Structure 1
Amino acid sequence: MRILWLSHLIPYPPKAGVLLRSYNLLLQLARVHDVDLLSFVQMGYLETFYPSYESGIADTRQALSAFCKHVEFIPIPSEQRPLGKYFLAAKSLFTKKPYSINWLSSPLYSKALSRLVAENRYDIIHFDTISLAPYRLFCPSVKTVLDHHNIESHMMLRRAENAHLLARPYYWQEGLRLRSYERKVCSHFDLHITCSELDARRLLKVDPGLYVKVMPNGVDPLYFCPSGRSTADKTVIFVGSMNWYPNVEAMRYFISAVWPALKREVPDAKLHVVGAHPPRSLLDLAQLDPSITFFGFVSDVRPYLEEATVYVCPITDGGGTKLKLLDAFAMGKAVVAHPIACEGINAKHGENIMLATTAEEFVSRIRELFADSSLRGVIGGNARKLVLSNYAYDSIGKDLCESYERLCGLGSEIKR
C-alpha cells in the first residue's frame, strides 16, 4: 500500500512520549508499506534535542528518510513571529474553530498536501492528531485514519478542573468547543485509533457511530532492558519533559506534599528528576533541598532508570497513556503511581505496580519498597512481563498494518 502520514510534529528523535508513539508506528508501517511523511515543525522539540535549527532539520530528515519514501517539513505559522501562539490563542476566542484546531492552519501545508495527493495514488492518509482534521478536505476519495494520542476535548476539560481559577474559564471553553468540533468532523474519517480502551470509550461517547481500533502505546523491550547495573539506595526517580503541564504539576505536588513527609521517615532518601526544561519554580525548590536533583535532558535515560530504587508517577492530569511508565516497566522498575497516570495500561496494584492517591499513600508505598528488595524484584519483574506480553511495538505494529490492510480490503494479500 501507499500511505501518506500527516504529522503535527517531526516524529524524531524517539525520546519523548508523543515522539515515541509516532516514530514507532510510522516505522512499523514503513517496514511493510511505502510511506510518505508531511510534517509540521514544532520548534520546541528541535530546541530540546539539537543545538541549532539547521542541525535538527538535517538529522531528522536523514533519520526519517531511511524508511520513508518522501519526507517534507512545513513551519507552523504561529511560531514564525514573536508571541504568535499567544496572539492566536486570544484570536481563537472569537473564531468558529478553537485554538487547538487553528494552531495548525497553514496555506503552505495545504499546498504541499494538495500536490502530494495529486501526484500520488495513496491508499490511506493518516492524520496523527485531530488538529490536522481540517486538511481532510484535501483528501477526497482516499481512506483516512485519525489517530488520537488523547481525546483532546476530555483532556482539556480535565485540565480546566485542575487549572488555576483565572485560567479555568479558558480551558473550559476550549474543551467544550473541541468536543463540538470532534462531533462535527470525526465521522468524516474511516478509522480512528486510540491509545487505550478507556480512550476508545471516551471517543465513542462523542460519536457512537465511529469505527475505532485500539493501538496501545508501546515500548521497545530490547532497548529498555535491565543491564545488571547496581541500584542506588533509597533513590526515587521521575522522568518526563518538564515543559508539559501535567509533569510540572505532578512534580510540584510531589516535592511539596510527598517529599517532606518521606524525608521525615527516610532522611537519606534522594529524588532524581530527569527531563528537559524544568521550570525555575521547581529549580528554586530543589535549591532549598540538596536531596533533590534535576538532571534536565539526558540522551540516554536507561542508566538513570536502572540506578533508581523506585520510580514514581504522581500525574493526575493529561490523557492517553503514559509512555514513561512503559519504559520504567520494561526496565523492571518498581513503580508507585497515581491511578490516573495508569489509565490505559493493564496494570494491577500489588502485582506489577503500587498505586497511591494521597501523599500519605505515596510515602507508605515508597517506604515499603525501599525496605523490601524482594518486593521490588517481584513488582518490577511482573511489570516487565506485562510489557513483553502486551506493549512491545513489534506486535502493535503488526496489528496496525493489519487494520490498515483490512480498511483497504487487502487482508492477507500483503506479503511480509
Structure 2
Amino acid sequence: MARYLWLTQLYPSGLSGTSVKTKHTLEVLLQAGHSVDVVCLHHRSLLRPKLSWPGKPGQIKLWVIEKDVFSAWRLDYVLTHFGLLMSRWPFRIAKMFSNEMVKQLEILISNHNYATIFIDGYAMLQYLPFLQPTNFRSQNYQMPPLIYIDDEDIAELMRQRWSTTENWLMKIFFWWEWQKCLSYERLYLPRIQQLWAISQQTLRRLKTLTSAKAVLMPTVVPIFPQVFKDTAQDLVFAGLLSWLENIQGLKWFLNQVWPLVRRAHPQTKLRVLGQMAQPNLVTQLQQTPGVLYRGFVPDLATEFNQTAVAIAPILINCGIKIKVVTYLSYGLPVVTTPQSTWGLGGMGGVLTGKTPEEFAGAINQLLANRQLRLKTSRAALKNIHQHHSAKVLIKFFQVQKLSGFIRPTFATQPTQRSRSWS
C-alpha cells in the first residue's frame, strides 16, 4: 500500500466547498487501503468538527496549523494586513503562508518516503520551494511526483471580480490581484509533474502554463438516496456565507427572483444554510418574507428532506460548484445558472436559468409538478453515480497510474499449439 503526503489549504471538515472535495477524495484513498499524512491550515473563524475516517487507526494523520485567514473587508482588517497587500504574491495567497507548515513538511519528508505529494489548492503552490530534496536532512531522499489539484481558477476569479465590481478601489485591488496571480502561476506551475483540474474551463487555461500532464479530475461525493421527499415545497440555498460570489448571488436571487417565485407559490419558504454570515446579510435574510435563515446546520439531511428544489444562483464561477454536486448527491432537483454547471460530469437533475425570469420559471415549473420533481431527483442520483462517485475516482486514479492504483499486469504464457495426430 502507498503512503501519500497531502498539503491542503483547508481543514478537511466537509463543511465548505473545497473541504468537501478534499475530504471525500481522502476517504477514497483510505478505503483503498493507503495511508495519508495531511498537513493543512485551519481558519479559526470556521468550525472544526472532529472527524471520523474509514480504514484502520493511524491510516490517516493530520497536522493542523491554526491561522486567521477569513475576515470581512473592514478598514481595521486591511490596515492590520497592509504588509500582505504589498506582497509579491496575491493577498489571499500570502496570508496562507505559514512557517509552522514549512517546519512540519521538513519533519515529515525527512522521516518518510512518500509515493506522491499532493498540492491541494492554489495557495499551496507557494510551498513548492520547500519540497525540494536539498531543503531536507535526508541525503537519500528521492523526490516523489508532485501533483497539483486545482480547487478554483483564482486568476480568472480575480479577473471576473475586477470586470464586474463597481467600486473603483476594489476594482484596482482585484486588477492587481489578478496580475499577481498570473506571475504566481508562471513561477510555480512549471514545477509540478501533473495537474488535475476540476473543470474543462480551468483545464484549458492552466494547461497552457505548464508542460506537465494536465487532466480533468472527477469531484466525488457520497450518495444519500433516501433524503428527498416529493411532497416537500421549500427551496434551499447552502454555502459559505462569507464568500463574495455566494453573497452576491444570494442577494441577486432575493431581489430579482424570489418575488417571482413567491407570487406563484406564496407558501414556499427559502431555507438559507451556511456559516460566517455578516450581520447585515443576516438582517436582510431575516427581514425578507418567506426566508428562513438557519445558519450552520450540522446535518444537511434535516433541512434537505424538507426541500423540493435546491438553488445555486451563482453569477461568477471559476471551477466546480460543490454545492451543486452536493445537492445532487441528496437527490435534490437543482436550479442554477449556466456557469454554475462547469465541472459537472452530466446535467441530470439540473435545470438552468440565466435571467431572473428564466431562473424563477424553472423553479416554478418544478414546484408545480410533483412528477417532474421525482423524475429530476432520480436523474440527479444517476448523475452522481455515473460521474461523481468513488468508483469513478478510483478509475481515474488507475488511468493516471497513481502509485498504489496501478493495475498489475501478468505475463501470459504462450498458447501451446494442439498436437496433430495425422
Distance in 2, Cα, partners of 1:69 & 1:303: 29
Instruction: Read off the aligned partner of 2:67 and give its amino acid letter.
Output: I
Q: Tell me if structure 2 keeps the 8 A contact 1:88–1:103.
A: no
- The match for 2:406 is 411
- The match for 2:37 is 36
Matched residue of 1:193: which SS?
Answer: strand
**Are residues 178 and 251 of structure 1, via their aligned partners in 2, closer, same or farther at CA, if it must alter by over 3 Å?**
same
**Are residues 389 and 164 of structure 1, via their aligned partners in 2, closer, same or farther at CA, if it must alter by over 3 Å?**
same
Distance in 2, Cα, partners of 1:277 & 1:97: 26
Distance in 2, Cα, partners of 1:264 & 1:302: 28
| Larger displacement relative to structure 2 (143-152 or 24-33) | 24-33
Instruction: Read off the aligned partner of 1:120 and give its amino acid letter.
Output: H
Instruction: Read off the aligned partner of 1:75 and give its amino acid letter.
Output: E
Q: Tell me if structure 2 keeps the 8 A contact 1:8–1:42.
A: no
Q: Tell me if structure 2 keeps the 8 A contact 1:215–1:400.
A: no
**Are residues 358 and 216 of structure 1, via their aligned partners in 2, closer, same or farther at CA, if it must alter by over 3 Å?**
same
Q: CA deviation at 1:133?
A: 1.8
Aligned pair partner of 1:216 in 218, 225, 241: 218
- The match for 1:201 is 204
- Do residues 74 (structure 1) and 65 (structure 2) align? yes
Instruction: Read off the aligned partner of 2:115 and give its amino acid letter.
Output: D
Q: CA deviation at 1:263?
A: 2.1
- The match for 2:334 is 335
**Are residues 26 and 404 of structure 1, via their aligned partners in 2, closer, same or farther at CA, if it must alter by over 3 Å?**
farther
**Are residues 19 and 77 of structure 1, via their aligned partners in 2, closer, same or farther at CA, if it must alter by over 3 Å?**
closer
- The match for 1:123 is 115
Residues 203-352 of structure 1: pairs in structure 2 closer than 5 A: 203-205=206-208, 207=209, 209-221=211-223, 224-227=224-227, 229=229, 231-233=231-233, 235-348=234-347, 352=349
Matched residue of 2:257: which SS?
Answer: helix
- Do residues 388 (structure 1) and 385 (structure 2) align? yes
Q: CA deviation at 1:309?
A: 1.8
- The match for 1:53 is none
- The match for 1:108 is 100
Matched residue of 1:309: which SS?
Answer: strand
Q: CA deviation at 1:262?
A: 2.5
- The match for 2:4 is 3
- The match for 1:137 is 129
C-alpha RMSD of the superposition = 2.8
Q: Tell me if structure 2 keeps the 8 A contact 1:275–1:296.
A: yes
Q: CA deviation at 1:313?
A: 1.2
- The match for 1:98 is 90
| Larger displacement relative to structure 2 (251-260 or 394-403) | 394-403
**Are residues 76 and 278 of structure 1, via their aligned partners in 2, closer, same or farther at CA, if it must alter by over 3 Å?**
closer
Residues 373-384 of structure 1: pairs in structure 2 closer than 5 A: 373-384=370-381
Distance in 2, Cα, partners of 1:84 & 1:213: 42
Q: Tell me if structure 2 keeps the 8 A contact 1:229–1:307.
A: yes
Q: Tell me if structure 1 keeps the 8 A contact 2:230–2:308.
A: no
- Higher percent of residues as helix: 1
Instruction: Read off the aligned partner of 1:364 and give its amino acid letter.
Output: G
Matched residue of 1:96: which SS?
Answer: coil
Distance in 1, Cα, partners of 2:37 & 2:104: 12
Q: Tell me if structure 2 keeps the 8 A contact 1:88–1:99.
A: no
Q: CA deviation at 1:11?
A: 1.1
Q: Tell me if structure 1 keeps the 8 A contact 2:230–2:370.
A: no
**Are residues 332 and 37 of structure 1, via their aligned partners in 2, closer, same or farther at CA, if it must alter by over 3 Å?**
closer
- The match for 1:52 is none
Matched residue of 1:113: which SS?
Answer: helix
- The match for 1:26 is 26
**Structure 2: runs of 5 or more not aligned:** 133-142, 410-422
Distance in 2, Cα, partners of 1:84 & 1:69: 39
Q: CA deviation at 1:9?
A: 2.1
Distance in 2, Cα, partners of 1:383 & 1:361: 20
- The match for 2:136 is none
Distance in 1, Cα, partners of 2:317 & 2:81: 20
Q: CA deviation at 1:61?
A: 9.0
Q: CA deviation at 1:212?
A: 1.1
Instruction: Read off the aligned partner of 1:232 and give its amino acid letter.
Output: A
1:333-368 deviation digits (Å, cap 9, x = unpaired): 2221101111111444xx632110111112222222
Flag as ranges the 4+ runs of structure 1 deviating above 6 A: 61-65, 82-85
Q: CA deviation at 1:202?
A: 2.3
**Are residues 208 and 228 of structure 1, via their aligned partners in 2, closer, same or farther at CA, if it must alter by over 3 Å?**
closer
**Are residues 70 and 287 of structure 1, via their aligned partners in 2, closer, same or farther at CA, if it must alter by over 3 Å?**
closer
Instruction: Read off the aligned partner of 2:144 and give its amino acid letter.
Output: V
TM-score by length of 2: 0.84
Identity fraction in percent: 23
Instruction: Read off the aligned partner of 1:339 and give its amino acid letter.
Output: P
Distance in 1, Cα, partners of 2:228 & 2:304: 12
Distance in 1, Cα, partners of 2:53 & 2:29: 18
Instruction: Read off the aligned partner of 1:373 and give its amino acid letter.
Output: R
Q: Tell me if structure 1 keeps the 8 A contact 2:273–2:297.
A: yes
Matched residue of 1:411: which SS?
Answer: coil
Count the aligned residue pairs: 394
Matched residue of 1:4: which SS?
Answer: strand
1:356-408 deviation digits (Å, cap 9, x = unpaired): 011111222222212111222222221221111111134314423653536x9
Q: Tell me if structure 2 keeps the 8 A contact 1:27–1:67.
A: no
**Structure 1: runs of 5 or more not aligned:** 50-55
Q: CA deviation at 1:261?
A: 2.6
